[in-house]
Amino acid sequence: MPPGTIGVVTKELGSGAVSRLQVVSGKGGTGKTTVAAALALALAREGGRTLLVEVEGRQGIAQLFGAETLPYEERKIAVAPGGTNGSGGGSGGEVYALAIDAERALLDYLQMFYKLGSAGRALKKLGAIDFATTIAPGLRDVLLTGKACEAVRRKDKAGKFVYDHVIMDAPPTGRITRFLNVNDEVAGLARFGPIHNQAQAVMKVLKSPETAVHLVTLLEEMPVQETADGIDELRRAGLPVGQVIVNMVRPHHLDEGALRAAAGERRADVAKALSRAGLGGARRGGLAQRLVDPLIAQAAEHASRVELERAQRTVLEGLDVPTYELPLLGAGMDLAGLYELATELRKQAGDA
């Protein structure tokens, strides 16, 4: 999808209708954690509050925000700029973060369902909790998704939601459908009782309009194909597909004529242009002539990449899914970069 058309399909970002649970997945190396963090900042509107949840134990969120290792508790890590254009004209929202630990989550469940209290802590000391979550990876997924959905449903004493949005930095695209759908399997295995009821409650959130599953990709063949496969799996499982977020998009430095010239390797024309620019004569062995080959090689490489990106955009257009595009930040990723990407998301949503 061309960059000029992406804003019209993302108007819901700043509206009250946007899904309250935003799940962000993507092939490894596409920057899904960075996108999840930027999305949390973008959704933390004036006076609003978002929770950014990590489920893989990598502490990637803490590193992005330059914070200490996240504990198993919700901790404020950033304030989003106020004002609709991110210029500080209003009261900023708050971003909280949580690294969910499966063992601690299981203790919470044991206390919630069976009131084990100190007995649950004794099980942890004996290694029973670690044993249970290790031999049953499906159980880990139940605990992780359940904790995130609990944050989505949680209300304060006044009956208002504690968090306006919960953003989950989820597992990679290759296993996102099974990760989110595991509660359906558990609900089928446990026909009654608290576990069955909890699994059903979680799936009610995950398969409702309250949830959107976004897939992060690059304009490269393998990530785009994995994104297409992931969308197909999510749809077949009845899970709500949100947007495709194309990350690290590079600028196009050449116009159409220059791209065609680069593909045609017009050495003589390049040499003459360099000569007119004062870089020596175009004769063989001159400075301009010596610059021709490396310049043409770079231009041809750029033209090839542009053609590849166009082909991948065509594939993405065929998925019939709204698309964002986020630029490649030349200085690398830091906290300032996160705020820049958050601002870009809001611009594309028509919110700036």
Pairing of strands 241-249, 323-327: parallel
What is the DSSP track for 185-223?
A: HHHHHS-SSHHHHHHHHHHHHHTSTTEEEEEEE-SSHHH
Angstrom distances, CA of residue 33 to CA of 2, 57, 215, 310: 24, 12, 11, 25
- DSSP three-state, residue 237: coil
Name the region of 165 (left: φ>0; alpha: ψ -120 to 50; beta: rest).
beta
Confidence of residue 253 (pLDDT cuts 50, 70, 90): low
CA–CA dist 256, 254 (Å, integer): 7
Contact 302, 253 (CB under 8 A): yes
Highest mean pLDDT among 108-117, 188-197, 215-224, 298-307: 215-224
- Mean of the per-residue pLDDT values for the chain? 78
Q: Taking 70 as the threshold, does the pLDDT of residue 316 lie above it?
A: yes
Among the listed ranges 14-23, 140-149, 274-283, 331-340, which one has the minimum average pLDDT value?
274-283
Residue 5, pLDDT > 70, answer no
Higher pLDDT, 275 or 349: 349
Question: Are residues 76 and 95 in contact, defined by beta-carbon separation less than 8 angstroms?
Answer: yes
Tokens describing residue 231: 């969308």
* Predicted confidence (pLDDT) at residue 264 exceeds the cutoff of 90: no
Of the spans 80-89, 106-115, 119-128, 334-343, which averages the highest pLDDT? Answer: 334-343
Record the pTM.
0.79
**95 confidence band (pLDDT: 50, 70, 90):** very high
Confidence check: pLDDT of 17 > 60: no
pLDDT tens-digit map of 153-177: 999 999 999 999 999 999 999 999 9
Residue scoring higher pLDDT (167 or 292): 167
CB count in 10 Å sphere of residue 336: 9
Structure confidence by residue, pLDDT tens digits, 202-230: 888 999 999 999 999 999 999 999 999 99
Specify the 3-state DSSP secondary structure of 5. helix
Angle between helices 137-153 and 173-189 (to 10 degrees): 90
Say which residue the tokens 């310049």 belong to.
295
Of 292 and 163, more confident? 163
**Region 311-334: what's the mean pLDDT?**
91
Residues forming a β-bridge with 246: 217, 325
**Would you state the structure tokens that stand for residue 133, as one six-digit string?**
């979550």
Q: What is the C-alpha separation between 109 and 120, in angstroms, rounded?
A: 10
Q: For residue 122, give the H/E element and its range.
A: helix 118-125
pLDDT surpasses 60 at 86: no
216, 172 Cβ separation under 8 angstroms: no
133-163 burial code (b ≥16 CB/10 A, e <16)? beeeeebbbbbbbbbbbbbbbeeeeeeeeeb
How far, in Å, CA of 31 to CA of 75, rounded? 23
The span from the first CA to the last CA of the chain, in angstroms, equals 21
Kindly state the percentage of the chain with pLDDT values over 70.
Answer: 64
Alpha-carbon distance of 122 to 28, in angstroms, equals 37
The single-letter DSSP state of residue 172 is P
CA distances from 338 to 43, 74, 142 (A): 13, 20, 30
Angle, helices 128-135 vs 118-125, to 10°: value is 70
Q: Tell me: the pLDDT tens digits for 56-85?
A: 888 899 999 988 888 888 999 999 876 544
Confidence at residue 293, expressed as pLDDT on a 0 to 100 scale: 67
pLDDT of residue 207: 93
Decide: 129 and 107 in contact? Cβ < 8 Å: yes
Q: 127 vs 111, which has greater pLDDT?
A: 111
- 165-169 vs 49-54, strand pairing mode: parallel
